[in-house]
Structure formats: C-alpha cells, structure tokens
Amino acid sequence: MSLVPSSGAGDNGPIFAEVEMAGESSASTVRATVVQASTVFYDTPATLVKAESLLAEAASQGAQLVVFPEAFIGGYPRGSNFGVTIGNRTSKGKEDFQKYHASAIDVPGPEVDRLAAMAGKYKVHLVMGVIERDGYTLYCSVLFFDPQGRYMGKHRKIMPTALERIIWGFGDGSTIPVFETPIGKIGAAICWENKMPLLRMAMYAKGVEIFCAPTADSREVWQASMTHIALEGGCFVLSANQFCRRKDYPPPPEYVFSGLEDDLNPESVVCAGGSVIISPSGAVLAGPNYDGEALISADLDLGDIVQAKFDFDVTGHYSRPEILSLTVRDHPTNAVTFTSDSERTERS
C-alpha cells in the first residue's frame, strides 16, 4: 500500500488515500543515503538545482531512499536573531524576515511539483527538509515523495527550539505521518523534537521502521540521541544535517551572524554536519561525517528490525498499557472554524 494525495483537500492540505501499487513488494535490503550539504541561502531556485544534482548523484550510486537536512529548501537561518529583543523588533530584523519569507515555499506549490518530478525522474523515495510558507506564517517541515513522482504528505515541526519560535509556527498532531512504502514504513521528526519522548512514542505506535531525523545539531552529543532512538524504537535512524561555511550565507551586512561575525572568515565552518545512519541494534552503519559536504550511504537490512524487536518492542511486549498510555490528538487545530446556518439546523 502507498499513500497519495486524493482529489479532495482539507483545511490542512491534501487528503491522502491508500492505493494498491501493482508489482510492488517489500524490500529486504534498502540502499539509503543521507545528504550533508548546504542551502544556497536566500536563493531557492539555486538550492533546487543543487538538490537535483545531489539527488542524481545519490541515485547513480543505487540509493532507493534519500534524506535531506532540516530546512534545506528555504534555509536554516543560523546565527540570525531577526532583530528581536524582549519588547522590541528592529526594522532590519523585519526586512530579514521578509527575505526569509520570500525564500520559503508553498505546499502545494511549484517547488513541490518540481521535487516530486525529481523523485520520479530518479526513481527514489525522497525526504526533504523545507521551510513551508502558509500565508504569512512559516513552518519547518519535511516533505515526502515516492519514486512514481508523487507527493505523499508532510510533517510540520511541532516544537521549534529557542529563537526558532519567533520565526516558525508550531505544527499540530495532524502532520505526524508514518508512510507505508515498499521499502518500509517511513516517518520523520525534526531536530530537537526528536528529544520529545511522547512524540517518539506516537511514531513507534505507527510502526515506523525508517526514522528520518533531519537536524541542525552538529554536536557530538547528538549522536547519543540518534543511537538511543534506534535502540528504543527498534528502527533504522537516518540523521541528515547541513555542512555550512560562512561563505554559504550572504556576506555582511546583508546577513550577520549575531555575536560571531567578527570571528568568522569565508571558510569558517558554522555547521559541521555529523550526519549518520544507525541500525536498530545501535550499530553505526555510516558516518558521522564532520569533514564537509558528502553523501553518506548504507544498506539497511530490514531483517535487523525483527531481531531488535525480539529484544525490545516498545509498543509490543515491552508496553504496559494497563499502567502507561498516550493519547495523541491527531486532528488539525485551526484558529477559526465556520459553521453554516444549514449545518446548525441539521445538528439541532
């Protein structure tokens, strides 16, 4: 089974329908690649060109699944404070947000169509980190595409970290999907929301087998979180981060790394990557890479999931639902809803 957009659409985006895909069967081994590369900041068309080049290279190496970093399309605004202090916002900061808003993409929209076409052209499952523009609010999101060139759906980051909260909205429970595909059940959590135990439990309960973790965290301690998730969930973990130098961002004064600019030169590393692929047993299959832009690949033996679950199945024999339980509100949360007079009459 696979999930594809239906012809209808809800308030929170496309409605997805399950469709049987002829000739498909579950794979026992999957070639997966995580991309470690930098956005072309403030230049979304150029970033899309770069994304296709990287996708083509990964596909030429046999990749069936390719995962890009957090905010690859639209950019992660590292080092920027958008002129915000408590009780005040500067004119320069507002101008910076306007530029950032212009670099984001609409979902659905032409950039989504192009990404879908790329997935179809190179016949890969594609997981792409984007900055999603929904009117005047931005969301840090992950988009999913199948090898037939179809947009499957999205996950919106439910908890932006620290100053991210001033530029990104909060996702809700309606975009925490796990997609059943011929290469396994695929889902994603973004950066520090991976540290939220209840979110992880929701994904485990949906049966996630390939847990994608696009991130902006290049610290060595991030590896501990990735290993823990692999062991806890009995799943493969694919963490993709950007590798960025100062020169990958516009020069000052157009773009300023607040508090750091005086110590930086064009070659200074501002995000060191650390992308990694980890097995359900906690074994590091590829990475972590801190050397530069790279494609990090590994073969995922899905039989390893069965062996890991034999030891510890967090929603199976190791759950205690009579003691511990979780309720997930997976409906859209809209600020305004409308009820027509006719609907009121029918309900009365």
Catalytic (active-site) positions: 70
Q: Which residues contact 43 (CB under 8 A, 6 or more apart)?
A: 103
Omega of the bond prior to 5 within 30 degrees of 0, cis? Answer: no
Residue 14, beta-bridge partner list: 9
Q: How many CB atoms lie within 10 A of CB 258?
A: 11
Residue 3 has pLDDT above 50, yes or no: no
Residues 345, 348: Cα–Cα separation, whole Å: 5
Average pLDDT, the chain: 90
Residue 140 has pLDDT above 50, yes or no: yes
**How high is the pLDDT of residue 29?**
93
**How high is the pLDDT of residue 164?**
94
pTM above 0.75, yes or no: yes
Pairing of strands 125-134, 84-85: unpaired
Q: How many CB atoms lie within 10 A of CB 222?
A: 22
Residues 141, 108: Cα–Cα separation, whole Å: 13
| pLDDT above 70 as % of the chain | 90
Q: In what order do the strands lie in the sheet with 65-67?
A: 151-156, 137-145, 125-134, 65-67, 29-36, 294-301
pLDDT, tens digit (0-9, with 9 covering 90-100), for 146-180: 999 999 999 999 999 999 999 999 999 999 999 99
Residues 44, 67: Cα–Cα separation, whole Å: 18
Nearest to 304 by CA among 267, 279, 338: 279
pLDDT, tens digit (0-9, with 9 covering 90-100), for 172-202: 999 999 999 999 999 999 999 999 999 999 9
Secondary structure in 3-state letters for 144-169: EECCCCCEEEEEECCCCCHHHHHCEC
Q: Which residues contact 339 (CB under 8 A, 6 or more apart)?
A: none
Q: Is the dihedral of CA 179, 183, 184, 190 positive or negative?
A: negative
**Structure tokens belonging to residue 138:** 């931005």
Most confidently modeled of 12-26, 217-231, 257-271, 328-342? 217-231
Tell me the one-letter amino acid at 138: L
Q: pLDDT band at 67, cuts 50/70/90? A: very high
Residues 56, 42: Cα–Cα separation, whole Å: 23
pLDDT, tens digit (0-9, with 9 covering 90-100), for 220-264: 999 999 999 999 999 999 999 999 999 999 999 999 999 898 899
Helix, strand, or coil (residue 195): helix
Stretch 66-79: mean pLDDT, rounded?
97
Helix segments in 32-162, DSSP class H: 44-60, 91-103, 110-122
Tell me the one-letter amino acid at 286: A
Stretch 36-62: mean pLDDT, rounded?
97
Domains within the chain, CATH numbers bracketed: 26-347 (3.60.110.10)
Q: pLDDT band at 23, cuts 50/70/90? A: very low
Q: pLDDT band at 215, cuts 50/70/90? A: very high
**How high is the pLDDT of residue 119?**
98
Long-range CB contacts (within 8 A, 24+) of 17-23: 21/148, 21/182
Nearest to 52 by CA among 68, 28, 30: 68
Nearest to 125 by CA among 71, 174, 70, 184: 184
> Would you say 167 and 97 are in contact if contact means Cβ atoms under 8 Å apart?
yes
Residue 37 has pLDDT above 50, yes or no: yes
Residue 128 has pLDDT above 60, yes or no: yes
Stretch 62-80: mean pLDDT, rounded?
97
**How high is the pLDDT of residue 9?**
37
Q: pLDDT band at 335, cuts 50/70/90? A: confident
Tell me the one-letter amino acid at 280: P
Stretch 3-9: mean pLDDT, rounded?
37
**How high is the pLDDT of residue 339?**
86
Q: pLDDT band at 345, cuts 50/70/90? A: low
